[in-house]
Structure 1
Amino acid sequence: MKVFMITGTSRGLGEAMVKRLFSSDHHLVCISRKKNDHLIKEAANNQTALDYYECDLHELHSLDALMKRIFHALSSMKIDALYLINNAGVVQPIAPAHKNTSEEIERNIHVNLIAPMILTANFIKLAYHLKIEKRILNISSGAGRNPYEGWSSYCAAKAGLDHFTRCVAKEQQKEAFGARIVSLAPGIIDTDMQKEIRSTDQEDFTDLNKFIQYKKEGQLSQAQATANKIIDLLCSTSFGKQGHILDIRKIDRVE
């Protein structure tokens, strides 16, 4: 049995990745602020075991206990491989840094950076004794590799996630059953986050028209198509071997 833990599964890319993973050979663990009842029903219809945990990743103090609950629930299973996908993210605040409140900055960094760090740390610690395949996929962004006016918090968080991934990769390479880890930019996807971006005041986000054009010109990728590519990469033999900081748009094929 392969176990997949995925955050941000209430909608968008996270929901699409879960659908791609429907299989009687998989056990899915979904984490989001609000439960996705439709996804739960669809999993049952596809004979896929699915556990759902409602959790606001902004509440960092709850994450250690959450991971202990998850691993305790899995402890009686025979697990052949264990995967963690840190997908949940928020783009707000969208405005020049001097307009952002401390609460907005805090929530962005908590959800986009610190929560994935804590979940990853717990995943490695709680699975350390398991002599099985372990993989961690952090959903990053091109914004972590290129600056955008008005996205200072989001860009900083994703840049931090990339570098955190590099550090963990070096650490885990030394372990006999260490986790392979990758930070992946998924491209520009037609999700609710893009709607948020397009509804921004141009005074706060100078690239607004560019993102409006992406939608008008059909340049946004579909969530399910992107999810399929991401899961193919995650489950490939080359995962974590062709680099730790990747962009899905620059990967022609996986093996």
Structure 2
Amino acid sequence: MTSLVIVTGGSAGIGRALLAHAPEGASRIDVSRRGCDLPGVEHVPADLADPSGWATVADVLADRIRAAEVDRITIVLNAGVIEPIGPAGRVDADGYTRSVLLNGAAPQVLGHRLLAALVDHPAERRELVLISSGAARTAYPGWSAYGAAKAATDHWARTVAAEQDGADRPVRVLAVAPGVVATDMQVAIRATDAADFPNVDRFRDLHASGELADPDDVAARLWRRLDDPGAGPVTDLRDA
């Protein structure tokens, strides 16, 4: 099966691992500011916290999708940021705005535009995946922008998946929570003062006890989850 894989935030962490573990022979595209260091990966430069560039990015990716003569297309909207961490009303306003745009608005807007290209493509498998978080279901003081954005991601996936259920050739849409993964985001979390993030010791303890998941293992499990037809529109890789 020939494949096209598009990942936002593919320069590091889970995004890079997803590109590294993509189906063999897949054409791979990374959308990020820095670019992915894996050989053979096309880089589409973009700062997805800046909405002025969303339409251009969507147009470029839609053109790649329409031109792809493949049996499977998988898009993973992974780009995100945890900062700023701290109580709403106190943290930097510009940083808070960027967080809301990147974590919450960008996946919905790009998802909407790319879904249109997927719907028209003749590929046998068409998948639109949004990276979620356990913070979508649990309120962590200090993470209001991040947690609310991930909750919105989950609800968007549920709603659009329900819409696709009624289509003649439905695109599979799902939000996937990867668990607590050893990425730069976790480094930033552990460096936070407890006054800004009261739950910080939990994440420090997970790191100290070696309980953070490896990005490569998470990526491999996510690809396997996509092969599970029973996985619902909102799924957690920590669930069996």
Partner amino acid for 1:125? A
* Alignment correspondent of 1:88: 79
Matched residue SS, 1:56:
coil
Matched residue SS, 1:66:
helix
Cα distance between partner residues in 1 of 2:171 and 2:238: 24
Partner amino acid for 2:239? K
Question: What is the Cα-based RMSD across aligned positions, in Å?
Answer: 1.4
Matched residue SS, 1:98:
coil
Change (3 A) 1:237 1:187: closer
Cα distance between partner residues in 2 of 1:139 and 1:16: 13
Please give the residue correspondences for 1:43-54 in structure 2 after superposition, counting only pairs within 5 Å: 43=40, 50-54=41-45
Change (3 A) 1:129 1:75: closer
Please give the residue correspondences for 1:231-246 in structure 2 after superposition, counting only pairs within 5 Å: 231-234=223-226, 236-238=227-229, 241-246=230-235
* Alignment correspondent of 1:15: 16
TM-aligned CA deviation for residue 184 of structure 1:
1.1
Change (3 A) 1:178 1:61: farther
Matched residue SS, 1:128:
helix
Cα distance between partner residues in 2 of 1:83 and 1:105: 30
* Contact 2:5–2:27 (Cα < 8 Å) also in 1: yes
Identity of aligned residues (%): 29
Please point out which of 146, 150, 157 is paired with 1:158: 150
Partner amino acid for 1:33? R
TM-aligned CA deviation for residue 22 of structure 1:
5.8
* Alignment correspondent of 1:117: 108
Aligned residues: 238
Partner amino acid for 1:139? I
Cα distance between partner residues in 2 of 1:144 and 1:57: 20
Matched residue SS, 1:9:
coil
TM-aligned CA deviation for residue 130 of structure 1:
1.8
Runs ≥4 residues deviating over 6 A: none
* Alignment correspondent of 1:108: 99
Cα distance between partner residues in 2 of 1:87 and 1:214: 23
Partner amino acid for 2:234? I
The C-alpha deviation readout for 1:173-196, integer Å capped at 9, x for no partner, is 111122111111100011111100
The runs of 5 or more residues in structure 1 that have no matched partner are: 44-49
Cα distance between partner residues in 1 of 2:67 and 2:46: 23
The C-alpha deviation readout for 1:208-236, integer Å capped at 9, x for no partner, is 111111111111111111111011112x0
Matched residue SS, 2:27:
strand
* Contact 1:131–1:177 (Cα < 8 Å) also in 2: no
Q: Does 1:79 align with 2:70?
A: yes
Cα distance between partner residues in 1 of 2:86 and 2:238: 27
Q: TM-score with structure 2 length normalisation? A: 0.94
Cα distance between partner residues in 2 of 1:143 and 1:35: 27
Matched residue SS, 2:4:
strand
Q: TM-score with structure 1 length normalisation? A: 0.89
Please give the residue correspondences for 1:156-195 in structure 2 after superposition, counting only pairs within 5 Å: 156-195=148-187
TM-aligned CA deviation for residue 74 of structure 1:
4.5
* Contact 1:109–1:154 (Cα < 8 Å) also in 2: yes
TM-aligned CA deviation for residue 76 of structure 1:
3.7
Matched residue SS, 2:163:
helix
Matched residue SS, 2:11:
coil
Matched residue SS, 2:89:
helix
Cα distance between partner residues in 2 of 1:245 and 1:137: 10
